[in-house]
Amino acid sequence: MVVDLCDYRALLDEPGAAYDAVVSVEMIEAVGAEFWPEYFRTLDHVLVPGGKVALQAITLPHDRMLATRSTHTFITKYIFPGGALPSVRAIEEVTARHTALRVSDDLAIGQHYATTLRLWDEAFVAAAEEVTALGFDETFARMWHFYLEYCRAGFTAGYIDDHQPDADQGEPMTAPTTAVAETLAEALRPFIGGDLPVRLVAWDGSYAGPEGAPVVEPALPRRAAAAAVAPRRAWAPPRPT
Ligand SMILES: C[S@@+](CC[C@H](N)C(=O)[O-])C[C@H]1O[C@@H](n2cnc3c(N)ncnc32)[C@H](O)[C@@H]1O
């Protein structure tokens, strides 16, 4: 497995169609409403044909999202500066307007979130001494306790909710990135003029090439995956940096 720490927008400069699925849990709230089109374009770009997006987002009813979008709340001032909660309708409209993605399913779990917040708050309050020992003062502790309970009240009352929409491009998956090594070896053949002289071991555990040959693990899975799942596209080895 490879973990890349990067801004999501950097992926728009990478070859697309690199992932079978994208799971994005409560990140859309942090990116800011003006970046929602770019955020969804990125998800659309990185997905293989037939791939799936699974989102989780804290949401507002659409009318409340519109009414409060230029106001400052306790949350935007003290907890998540720059953040903005979408509505499910906003997610559907932005994906429809800016991407090939369409929301295909949705699950609301806000009442479970209220329980989670109660448990988080109880654990936080019970750990008051450890919190102080970590260097957080009483002002912070009171603010954090208020934040957890404020959000719990919002979920309990149904003013905010938590949704898990799925989205896809409405196509069947043509070439899953599982067992990528064979597909990648196929894509490499024109460049090396024949069969692999090495044993290619891909990030999904699949392999291609002769047993006993030196093992090569692709170090740039996103680029390699783009070639493996979209062999129609011309693929060249990455330029040295
Ligand atoms: C509320 S947290 C969600 C945490 C995550 N779902 C988890 O389970 O750990 C929001 C996350 O969005 C990430 N994030 C916010 N803006 C981002 C950006 N521009 N590019 C990449 N990640 C970003 C933050 O780093 C943070 O990890």
10 C-beta closer than 6 A to ligand 1: no
In a domain, 219, yes or no: yes
Amino acid identity, position 55? L
In a domain, 221, yes or no: yes
Q: From atom 21 of ligand 1, which residue's Cα is the shortest distance away?
A: 7
**Whether residue 139 sits in one domain with residue 211:** no
pLDDT digits (tens, 9 = 90+) for 81-92: 989 999 999 999
8 C-beta closer than 6 A to ligand 1: yes
Distance 30 CA to ligand 1 centre (A): 7
In a domain, 4, yes or no: no
In a domain, 3, yes or no: no
pLDDT beyond 80 at 76: yes
Annotated catalytic residue, options 94, 151, 184, 227: 151
Residue 50: closest CA among 175, 165, 164: 175
Q: From atom 6 of ligand 1, which residue's Cα is the shortest distance away?
A: 25
Q: From atom 22 of ligand 1, which residue's Cα is the shortest distance away?
A: 7
4 C-beta closer than 6 A to ligand 1: no
Give me the mean pLDDT over the 206-233 stretch: 67
pLDDT digits (tens, 9 = 90+) for 92-132: 999 999 999 999 999 999 999 999 999 999 999 999 999 99
**What is residue 64's predicted lDDT score, i.e. its pLDDT?**
96
Distance 27 CA to ligand 1 centre (A): 5
**What is residue 231's predicted lDDT score, i.e. its pLDDT?**
42
CA-80 nearest atom, ligand 1: 1
pLDDT beyond 80 at 224: no
**Structural domain span for residue 186:** 180-229
Q: Do β-strands 166-168 and 207-208 pair in parallel, antiparallel, or remain unpaired?
A: unpaired
**Whether residue 114 sits in one domain with residue 89:** yes
**Whether residue 206 sits in one domain with residue 144:** no
Band (pLDDT 50/70/90 cuts) for residue 233 is: very low
pLDDT digits (tens, 9 = 90+) for 20-68: 899 999 999 999 999 999 999 999 999 988 899 999 999 999 999 999 9
- Supply the pTM of this predicted model: 0.77
**Whether residue 150 sits in one domain with residue 73:** yes
In a domain, 45, yes or no: yes
If 0-12 CB within 10 Å is exposed, 13-18 middle and 19+ buried, where does residue 60 land?
Answer: buried
Q: 151 catalytic, yes or no? A: yes
